[in-house]
Amino acid sequence: MNTTSPATTARWFTPLYPLFFVVLWSTGFIGAKFGLPDAEPLTFLSLRYGAVLVLMGALALLTRAPWPRSPRQWLHIGMSGLLVHAVYLGGVFIAIGHGLPAGVTALVVGLQPVLTALGAGAFLGERVRTTQWAGLATGFAGVGLVVAHKVISVTTGGALWAMLVPAVLALLGITAGTLYQKRFCPTFDLRTGSVIQFVPSLAATWLLASQTETMQVHWTGAFVFALAWLVLVLSLGAVSLLNVLIRQGSAVNVASLFYLTPPTTALIAWALFGETLTGLALVGMGLAVFGVWLARK
């Protein structure tokens, strides 16, 4: 007879949450690569958010999940979702959709752990130790080496700056969203909280898409697969894990995990698409892993 309790099983899996999060989150760039040829960035995200709302809303109702009791808590959860989903994902998808290589986008967003560390002291009162700063610097250097060959091949000039603007906005969105959620709403039910987070994200994204895009979609097999993957694996799986990690750990510890996203994405792209991995990239992967270990030590 199996005497293992659910609580014991949960304790076994808890240390693996960061690993699961990194792997799942890293597949977001792959999903974008499959789906963006058939839909414009904000239109794609609007469909994604709408599907998440339907699924998570049904789950919340069927399981009678608790809703926040105060309007203030609704506001805080909604604002955190707007920053993490609408601003961050909107910026990433627009940047990639306008031609900015995923590697360059990852490098820009890779500054997030450093900005989070700077903000953690001012807004959360968290003390960032010397070893954590060393880990953050090492991790960013590793990310730079992983994507160096893609950065060098990017065109320069005004076109590059135009593509970089949404990537920088994405960086600011994920940084502000992490700090905001950690301070104002670190704990909430993942089912009802997801609904509250995605409602303003859908409203803002759809409104901007209706004003700037044609909102035409080609329902190819690749697009349907990409949409389903991003809804089920990213928005339901990875985002739920991110909320759990923000609840359990410091902002710096959570942010440092984003250094592992470019190396993991590069490995997935190598396995799925045959993209080359240079010796410099392999060294960068090692540095990124070591940097995250230092930051979370």
pLDDT in tens, 219-244: 999 999 999 999 999 888 888 888 88
How much is the average pLDDT of 39-60?
95
User: How far is it, in rounded angstroms, from Cα 56 to Cα 61?
Assistant: 9
Tell me, what's the pLDDT at 74?
96
Local confidence band at 15 (pLDDT 50, 70, 90 cut-offs) = confident
pLDDT tier for residue 277 given thresholds of 50, 70 and 90: confident
pLDDT of residue 55: 94
Structure tokens at 1: 């007879």
User: Which span out of 73-87, 106-120, 233-247 was modeled with the highest average pLDDT?
Assistant: 73-87
Indicate the pLDDT class of residue 255, thresholds 50, 70 and 90.
confident
| pLDDT reading at 216 higher than 90 | yes
Is the full-model pTM beyond 0.75? yes
Question: Residue 254 above 70 pLDDT?
Answer: yes
Confidence check: pLDDT of 218 > 90: yes
pLDDT at res. 217: 96
Structure token pair of residue 8: 């014991």
pLDDT band, residue 154 (cuts 50/70/90): low
